[in-house]
Amino acid sequence: MNNPLLRAFVMVVSLLTLATAAGAQEQVIRPSLAQLWIDVATNIFGIPGMPSVVNPGGKNQFGNTRYGIGRYVDVALFVRAQPQGVTATQAIPAAMRLGPSLPLEPVRAERASGAAGRDPGAVERPKGRLLFYWGCSAEVRSGQPRVLDFARGSPQEWASIWQGRYAPEGGARAQPGHSIWPNERDTRMLPEGASLVGDHMVTGEGVPAGLRFALGPSQDLMPAIELAAQGDPQASIPLRWRPLPTARAYFINAFGTRGTDFVIWSSSELPDAGMGLMDFLSNANIERWTNEKVLLPASATQCAVPRGIFAGAEGAMARMIAYGSELILVHPPRPADPRVAWEQEWTVRARVKSTLMTLLGAGR
């Protein structure tokens, strides 16, 4: 290669190739020695004549952030060096009003329920129809409702209504290998006025010595949703609520039976019934689905159920959720140099929501 210009060209190409290869190098990431999940929920009944909080002085149990009525916190810890679970302690701020700490106890393995082997084909299909409406509007929009015959509906027709957006599970779970609170050793309920704001620390065998972190107001228990849903079912029903300070987005759906028809409505601008949305969501999903107008923005304070879709319905109910901010902490921080492995010591993930169930047309 005697041509100087050609030699220079080859050299430049080689240098660019090496630089590109170095830039594309994938960083080695080693998983955390300990992972901590904290789910925080305010779940309220807004039905006249019924208590908004069930069993306030009773026993607490894990999973109430999903299924309990009241204010709850679920905590789960996984320690890689102790895959069978470990007895640990979580130091908590005085504002939580539960003393200096919470005991985290390993989950006991249980035999699977015999219901898992039941033949779904043996279940008789119900009779009637499902009518699905969507969107905040005073009148029923063109092309609605979607109608599904329970007896004749194909899997594709079922999926067109039920198979909407959802987020894969990523929070606190009571499974073997995890250590949880509340547990059989500690069934205390959260006292009135309890707050998670402040410093937390987890200790236990195999837990990194520096598992310390702070939770701020964005990861604290959210206020209860106050939804006004009064209105004549023959007409459009206005929905109004006070904005929650730490809410990132909202979603509402409603359902009721009218004879053999089951009616569903959701606040989404797209045809999504929201069966997978009444749950914790990541910040990324909240942002994405708000931009798609599936979720209502944090600035929203009102919506409307279309005219007459619940006329004659028996006990129509509305469900609303306010999504709080998800917090993910990883220690130590990710090295900027991709050639340096990211040796994660611990990870904390905290999620927050507030939900309400109320009678449609009755309100709070």
Digit-by-digit pLDDT tens for the chain (364 residues) are 555 544 544 454 454 444 444 445 688 888 889 999 999 999 998 876 665 555 555 789 999 999 899 999 999 999 999 999 999 999 999 999 999 999 999 998 764 334 344 443 444 566 789 999 999 999 999 999 999 888 787 777 777 676 688 887 778 899 999 999 999 999 999 999 999 999 999 999 999 999 999 999 999 999 999 999 989 989 999 999 999 999 999 999 999 999 899 999 999 999 999 989 999 999 999 999 999 999 999 999 999 999 999 998 888 999 999 999 999 999 999 989 899 999 899 999 999 999 999 999 854 4
Instruction: Report domain extents, the chain.
Output: 29-108+126-359
Report CA torsion sign: 329, 332, 334, 336.
positive
In angstroms, the CA 227 to CA 240 distance is 6
Residue 333: CB atoms within 10 A of its CB come to 9
Residue 279: closest CA among 324, 342, 242 = 324
Quote the tokens at residue 153.
Answer: 């509906």
User: DSSP class of residue 11?
Assistant: H
Adjacent-strand bridge partners of 115: none
3-class state of residue 345 by DSSP = coil
Do 258 and 314 contact (CB within 8 A), yes or no?
Answer: yes
Sign of CA dihedral 228, 230, 314, 47: positive
Are 226 and 363 in contact, with CB atoms under 8 Å apart?
no
pLDDT for res 50: 62
Cα distances (angstroms) measured from residue 271 to each of 43, 264, 290, 339: 26, 11, 14, 46
The answer to whether 128 and 259 are in contact (CB under 8 A) is: yes
What is the gyration radius of the CA atoms in the chain, in angstroms?
Answer: 25
Strand partners for 249: 297, 323
Please say whether the beta carbons of 191 and 326 come within 8 A. no
Q: Given this model, what pLDDT does residue 362 score?
A: 55
User: CA-based angle 76:78:80, to the nearest 5?
Assistant: 175
Give the integer Cα–Cα distance in Å for 164 and 148. Answer: 16
CA-CA distance, 222 to 351, in Å (whole number)? Answer: 11
pTM beyond 0.95: the answer is no
Coil, helix or strand for 134? Answer: strand
Asked whether the beta carbons of 69 and 43 are under 8 A apart, the reply is: yes
Q: Which two tokens stand for residue 119?
A: 């033949």
Pairing of strands 198-204, 212-215: antiparallel
